[in-house]
């Protein structure tokens, strides 16, 4: 702890205008006690004697506001993440033009700033809220390339276009690691065996990004998600009633454009073959149902999705 505390001091003491950032740090989780916290914050206050060097007021930048209810985020973590043993999950940011019509990039930016969350056992400390808060950086930090879409090089991503998505299911780390190993082995063979040296060096330079791609690709199957892409209450009520007659619903998340209805695989396994067929075939073809997915990524309740307050709803 002493080493970490010294590192914090070494990093922040030379800086000015860091009060706003330091104030948001998760001190308790970092193991910094109240006395140490006060010392760090006090050290950041400019010395009056140095007033001639510049303004004493801290520079407080407007941040991306991505959270509206921490309790909802904690509930999501308890329902899907916290009871896990040696499990890895993925969260990421998305920016979409359909959320923010002012966005110049026609395709938006579907997936960036991906993070891995690993839970060693059911007693692992809660962390999701801190990982989401780490996305709330000064406005203008997130930018998107405009190559091929005009004269400008890039544009700033606005809060109105953003959402925080999370995997509902633990990732299959073994499959992800195996695919990364196979990819790198193939490229390494091409580099060392072929005289032309035609291997793709980007494979090695971007190994972390490739591994994250594989983690997103491979998930275990603990939860099944039904993406209802409508807010029509008659349609919603009918889908809920049809599901309740066949299986226990684990959770319902209201999204910007509809609802994510989540079923636990352990409950679906108890259903008859006829009921399973209804869910995967008949329900899937119903108007308003976008998809029935064995590995759905969902916006996190307690966060904003294109300005909409994502939340759990009773059913």
- Note whether residue 10 is domain-resident: yes
Cα(168)–Cα(299) distance, integer angstroms: 10
Which of 167, 183, 206 represents a domain boundary (last residue)?
Answer: 167
User: Strands, DSSP E only, in 5-45?
Assistant: none
> What is the pLDDT, as a whole number, of residue 54?
53
> What is the pLDDT, as a whole number, of residue 302?
98
- Note whether residue 84 is domain-resident: yes
> What is the pLDDT, as a whole number, of residue 138?
94
> What is the pLDDT, as a whole number, of residue 292?
95
> What is the pLDDT, as a whole number, of residue 233?
95
Number of folded domains that form the chain: 4
- Note whether residue 177 is domain-resident: yes
- Note whether residue 238 is domain-resident: yes
> What is the pLDDT, as a whole number, of residue 13?
47
- Say if residue 152 is in the same domain as residue 84: yes
> What is the pLDDT, as a whole number, of residue 82?
79
| CB within 8 Å of 239: residues ≥ 6 apart | 226, 228, 261, 283, 286, 288, 289
- Note whether residue 289 is domain-resident: yes
C-alpha distance from residue 207 to each of 7, 115, 181, 201, 210 (Å)? 28, 15, 10, 10, 5
Tell me the residue range of the domain where 27 lies.
2-53
pTM: 0.76
Mean pLDDT by 10 residues, the chain (315 residues): 51 48 56 58 51 56 94 96 88 94 82 92 91 95 79 85 96 89 77 56 71 90 96 96 96 97 95 95 92 96 97 96
- Say if residue 284 is in the same domain as residue 235: yes
> What is the pLDDT, as a whole number, of residue 17?
46
> What is the pLDDT, as a whole number, of residue 205?
67
- Note whether residue 178 is domain-resident: yes
């Amino acid at each position: 702890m002493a080493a970490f505390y010294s590192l914090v001091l070494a990093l922040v003491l030379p800086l000015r205008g860091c009060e706003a950032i330091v104030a948001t740090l998760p001190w308790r989780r970092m193991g910094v006690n109240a006395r140490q916290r006060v010392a760090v914050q006090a050290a950041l206050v400019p010395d009056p004697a140095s007033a001639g060097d510049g303004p004493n007021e801290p520079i407080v930048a407007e941040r991306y506001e991505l959270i509206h209810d921490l309790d909802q985020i904690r509930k999501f973590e308890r329902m899907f993440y916290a009871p896990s043993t040696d499990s890895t999950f993925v969260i990421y940011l998305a920016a979409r033009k359909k959320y923010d019509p002012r966005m110049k990039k026609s395709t938006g930016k579907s997936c960036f700033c991906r993070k891995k969350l690993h839970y060693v056992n059911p007693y692992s400390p809660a962390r999701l809220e801190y990982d989401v808060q780490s996305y709330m950086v000064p406005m203008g930090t997130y930018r998107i390339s405009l190559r091929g879409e005009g004269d400008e090089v890039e544009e700033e991503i606005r809060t109105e276009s953003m959402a925080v998505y999370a995997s509902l299911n633990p990732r299959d780390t073994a499959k992800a690691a195996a695919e990364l190993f196979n990819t790198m082995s193939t490229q390494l063979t091409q580099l060392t065996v072929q005289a032309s040296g035609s291997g793709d060096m980007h494979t090695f330079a971007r190994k972390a990004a490739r591994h994250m791609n594989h983690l997103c690709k491979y998930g275990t199957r603990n939860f099944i998600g039904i993406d209802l892409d409508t807010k029509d209450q008659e349609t919603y009520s009918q889908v809920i009633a049809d599901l309740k007659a066949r299986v226990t619903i684990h959770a319902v998340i209201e999204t910007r454009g509809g609802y994510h209805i989540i079923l636990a695989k352990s409950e679906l396994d108890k259903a008859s073959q006829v009921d399973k067929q209804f869910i995967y075939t008949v329900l899937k073809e119903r108007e308003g149902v976008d998809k029935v997915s064995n590995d759905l990524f969902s916006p996190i309740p307690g966060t904003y999705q294109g300005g909409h307050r994502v939340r759990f709803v009773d059913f």
